[in-house]
Structure 1
Amino acid sequence: MSEISLKKQPVVLIIEDEPGDAELIRIQLLERDPKAFDVYLVPSLTEAKSQLEQKNLKPDVILLDLNLPDSTGPETVKRCRAIAPEVPLVVLTGLDDHQATEVAIEAGAEDYLSKGDDASSIRKAIRYALLRHDRDANERLALTVFNHAREGIMITSAQGIILEVNASFTRITGYSREEAVGHTPSLLSSGHHTPEFYEEFWVTLFERGHWEGEIWNRRKNGEVFVENMTVSAVRDPSGEITQFVALFTDITEQKEQQTQLEHLAHFDALTDLPNRVLFNYRLNQSTAYADRHGTRIAVAYLDLDGFKPVNDIHGHAAGDVVLQEVAKRMQACLRDEDTLARLGGDEFALVLESVQVPEYLDGLLERLQAAVSEAVAWKGHSLHVTASIGVTFYPQEPPVDISQLMHQADEAMYTAKQQGKNCYSLYPLSFS
């Protein structure tokens, strides 16, 4: 077989502590062409590291004796890999040291040579090591990406058995490679999704060859988390699915932040009551329900009496405590289907569902006023406020919209203020 020229003058680093053996190999490499290889000889890993780091030596291949003054056996391969991770290694062994050879290959060597091999075999081993290393470059790159990807990676068989996972899979799920391989992804199931969800998942995956979405899974410690996952089918040349590759990222924190932002967009930060946006939405829903089912709702506007003096005398911190306490007390007076919202400042609004006038309404308004009037303790002080409430009703004749309802309730509330505060007023309507 003719020798293969990969490079005009490959750099060969021979790590061998026996000077005679090292020199013999150098002669064998150069006997046919003194410029065939650029050869460097060092007696130890320590000296090799010095050449690579301090003298910037860049070998194309390393011939490595397993037994050196500073390292012996297969550990020598691992240590050499650490100082020259991208350089192909050819191990030098004794003639009958087959076991050491096998272990060295498993440790990361590309090939091996028995000391005493002829010159042609040595040159061919170097050429083949270079070719093999170049051929496997894409595989090594893929393995590097697999091991260092921030995304969790899970590879399964066509039957859904986990074949391989990466370090990020373990970091995210808590399951080691040994605990995951051989199981199915149901190992992570949280019980959050329905059988129909998984049925649609598999249908999409087989029909389109990929699926992307959010899945709620459970870590080894029992904690539920949310992942954004992409699953792709791997097919052989005949089109048959052989494997599935799943990539996922943990988006639990982002989901929590999103939930918090959505909550802030619809709820008052101080009292945690619905804000004006959510109140308007619920009011629209309530009027639509009343139209469909022939029921009546009450819409109330409530303003606190005496709140400004609390702020002026005791400060805004005291005012905040009053608002929080009053909000909790009023909420406790309502049914689950009713809505209490803070519109801003000391102004509140209510939607009271399926109201029969006056049986339910009178008693509720009195309870609300009593709840508001109860003293609020703050730093040794008893803080007092009362409520002026204006109420209107829906539906009406002629028909009114949401903004008209709120305007009527506001007018009725101001009437209550003019009547001496701490009372309620109904928007003047006649009911059939």
Structure 2
Amino acid sequence: MSEVSLKKQPSVLIIEDEPGDAELIRLQLLERDAKAFEVHLATSLSDAKRVMHNEGLKPDVILLDLNLPDSTGTDTVCRCRELAPDVPLVVLTGLDDHAATEMAIEAGAEDYLSKGEDASSLRKAIRYSLLRHERDASERLAMTVFNYAREGIMITSAQGIILEVNDSFTRITGYSREEAVGNSPSLLSSGHHTPQFYEEFWVTLFEKGHWEGEIWNRRKSGEIFVENMTVSAVRDPSGEIIQFVALFTDVTEQKELQTQLEHLAHFDALTDLPNRVLFNYRLNQSTAYADRHGTRIAVAYLDLDGFKPVNDTHGHAAGDVVLQEVAKRMQACLRDEDTLARLGGDEFSLVLESVQVPEQLGGLLDRLLEAVRKPVIWEGHELKVTASIGVSFYPQSPSIEIPELLHQADEAMYQAKEKGKNCYAFHPCVGFNKAAV
């Protein structure tokens, strides 16, 4: 049982500017029992604020005259609500002022009492307002959570019509309550998900009573956003679903950050080419495919000749521009299925798919060499580098492991450098005994 229920002497604050009316109300409250209520008087809202804040009064109920020296009408109720958010209000109105009464109730008063009512009615109004306030405490708490939750909340009927949304729903989606209520949640549809996705969504929701996952939706502005959503079915005592409650959070920024981090983990920050990690993964995939389907691949190491002098003479900014431009040109020479990666510094590696004989590579390797040796213009300077390329092949007989395959390509690259650079060389592996070009 709550504190209010146990309290034998509820504290009543009467806010009334007419001394005669205030005294009459006080006497009516105490006429049967002088200790039935603890009565306090205030003549205005500012006076009530002084009594509550400065003197520490915490009333259990407030009797409020709508027309005070510092406030009138429904504004009085609103301001008193701000002053005492969780205290039941009983407004004092004229005998025939029904319009004022309705507006006061809509503004947040629990009950009303016409001035001139008998003492019994007055005491009952006080007691009933306390009981109603106590009974509705859970509902008020739920509404507080609903209104102040950072998560978007959407309540729909069993037929999928939006019945209510909270402020966070509006903040996240851009749709006001008036625009959302009465519509279907498809108002937010982005077109990202397939009909099968929604079919499985509804099957899970009806069978299990809840669904949790990630949904791509569209804001009112047209912007796509990602949300983590939990939807729960609300059932009546007979077990029939009568409503659905959806809670969601906007995780777009987290998704973008996750995507960026995943990209950084697999791609070179300067050239945006695959890095060593992704190269090794794709090489493993390619060798596995070659084993299954009887195809051959070529693996190449490429090192830039003359890159260090560019860095030493013009600085790292110039070197970065050379790496970026050369990477872009080489990428343009390759097919979609091929992989060009930057291993670090001025070292690159390639996986070239479906290569039957070394002669197939001649044209491609010549184009790569030409792409590299074409000057790069930087601040009016022509920056020139060339490339040395070493190539090995997979599979071989006897079989070879990937580390040895890479070692062969590295050896072939040094053969190209020994030949004078700006050229390529094939490793003399079994089955591909091709002299260095």
**TM-score tier after normalising by the smaller chain length:** over 0.9
Q: Give 1:239's aligned amino acid.
A: G
Residues paired across the two proteins, number: 429
Question: In 2, Cα distance between the equivalents of 1:72 and 1:430?
Answer: 100
Instruction: Tell me if the contact between 2:305 and 2:386 (Cα under 8 Å) persists in the aligned partners.
Output: yes
Calculate percent identity across the aligned residue pairs. Answer: 83
Question: In 2, Cα distance between the equivalents of 1:374 and 1:113?
Answer: 93
Do residues 164 (structure 1) and 164 (structure 2) align? yes
The alpha carbon displacement at 1:100 in A equals: 1.8
Deviation digits for residues 74-114 of structure 1 (CA, Å, limit 9, x no counterpart): 22211211111111001111222222222211211111111
Deviation digits for residues 130-166 of structure 1 (CA, Å, limit 9, x no counterpart): 1111111111010000000000000001111100000
The alpha carbon displacement at 1:33 in A equals: 1.8
Structure 1 residue aligned with 2:386: 386
Question: Is the deviation greater in 280-289 or in 212-221?
Answer: 280-289
Question: In 1, Cα distance between the equivalents of 2:162 and 2:5?
Answer: 43
Structure 2 residue aligned with 1:189: 189
Structure 2 residue aligned with 1:416: 416
Deviation digits for residues 43-83 of structure 1 (CA, Å, limit 9, x no counterpart): 21121122222222211110011122222222221121111
Instruction: Tell me if the contact between 1:160 and 1:184 (Cα under 8 Å) persists in the aligned partners.
Output: yes
Deviation digits for residues 287-316 of structure 1 (CA, Å, limit 9, x no counterpart): 122222222111100011111121222221
Structure 1 residue aligned with 2:10: 10
Structure 1 residue aligned with 2:331: 331
The alpha carbon displacement at 1:359 in A equals: 4.0
Q: Give 1:306's aligned amino acid.
A: G
Question: In 1, Cα distance between the equivalents of 2:358 and 2:202?
Answer: 57
Question: Is the deviation greater in 247-256 or in 87-96?
Answer: 87-96
Question: In 1, Cα distance between the equivalents of 2:9 and 2:375?
Answer: 94
Q: Give 1:234's aligned amino acid.
A: V
Deviation digits for residues 345-367 of structure 1 (CA, Å, limit 9, x no counterpart): 11100011112424430111111
Structure 2 residue aligned with 1:114: 114
Question: In 1, Cα distance between the equivalents of 2:271 and 2:218?
Answer: 33
Question: In 1, Cα distance between the equivalents of 2:94 and 2:389?
Answer: 99
Instruction: Tell me if the contact between 2:397 and 2:430 (Cα under 8 Å) persists in the aligned partners.
Output: no
The alpha carbon displacement at 1:5 in A equals: 7.0
The alpha carbon displacement at 1:37 in A equals: 1.4
Distance change in 2, residues 1:233/1:144 (3 Å): same
Do residues 104 (structure 1) and 82 (structure 2) align? no
Question: In 2, Cα distance between the equivalents of 1:100 and 1:379?
Answer: 79
Q: Give 1:320's aligned amino acid.
A: D
Q: Give 1:270's aligned amino acid.
A: L
TM-score, with length taken from structure 2? 0.96
Structure 2 residue aligned with 1:233: 233
Structure 2 residue aligned with 1:397: 397
Question: In 2, Cα distance between the equivalents of 1:429 and 1:401?
Answer: 13
Instruction: Tell me if the contact between 1:211 and 1:232 (Cα under 8 Å) persists in the aligned partners.
Output: yes
Give the secondary structure class of the aligned counterpart of 1:322.
Answer: helix
Question: In 1, Cα distance between the equivalents of 2:197 and 2:38?
Answer: 63
Unmatched tracts of structure 2, length 5 or more: 433-437
Instruction: Tell me if the contact between 2:61 and 2:90 (Cα under 8 Å) persists in the aligned partners.
Output: yes
The equivalences for 1:257-336 within 5 A come to 257-336=257-336
Instruction: Tell me if the contact between 1:227 and 1:252 (Cα under 8 Å) persists in the aligned partners.
Output: yes
The alpha carbon displacement at 1:430 in A equals: 4.8
The alpha carbon displacement at 1:127 in A equals: 1.0
Instruction: Tell me if the contact between 1:5 and 1:127 (Cα under 8 Å) persists in the aligned partners.
Output: no
Instruction: Tell me if the contact between 1:392 and 1:427 (Cα under 8 Å) persists in the aligned partners.
Output: yes
Structure 2 residue aligned with 1:138: 138
TM-score, with length taken from structure 1? 0.97
Q: Give 1:408's aligned amino acid.
A: Q
Give the secondary structure class of the aligned counterpart of 2:212.
Answer: strand
Question: Is the deviation greater in 22-31 or in 251-260?
Answer: 22-31
The alpha carbon displacement at 1:6 in A equals: 4.8
The two structures, once aligned, show a CA RMSD in angstroms of 1.4
The equivalences for 1:39-188 within 5 A come to 39-188=39-188
Give the secondary structure class of the aligned counterpart of 2:36.
Answer: coil
Instruction: Tell me if the contact between 1:6 and 1:127 (Cα under 8 Å) persists in the aligned partners.
Output: no
Instruction: Tell me if the contact between 2:391 and 2:424 (Cα under 8 Å) persists in the aligned partners.
Output: yes
Question: In 1, Cα distance between the equivalents of 2:242 and 2:117?
Answer: 43
Instruction: Tell me if the contact between 1:151 and 1:168 (Cα under 8 Å) persists in the aligned partners.
Output: yes
Q: Give 2:54's aligned amino acid.
A: Q
The alpha carbon displacement at 1:412 in A equals: 0.5
Q: Give 1:55's aligned amino acid.
A: E
Deviation digits for residues 369-401 of structure 1 (CA, Å, limit 9, x no counterpart): 111111112222221111111001111111112
Q: Give 1:18's aligned amino acid.
A: E
Instruction: Tell me if the contact between 2:397 and 2:431 (Cα under 8 Å) persists in the aligned partners.
Output: no
Give the secondary structure class of the aligned counterpart of 1:49.
Answer: helix
Q: Give 1:337's aligned amino acid.
A: E
Give the secondary structure class of the aligned counterpart of 2:310.
Answer: helix
Structure 1 residue aligned with 2:37: 37
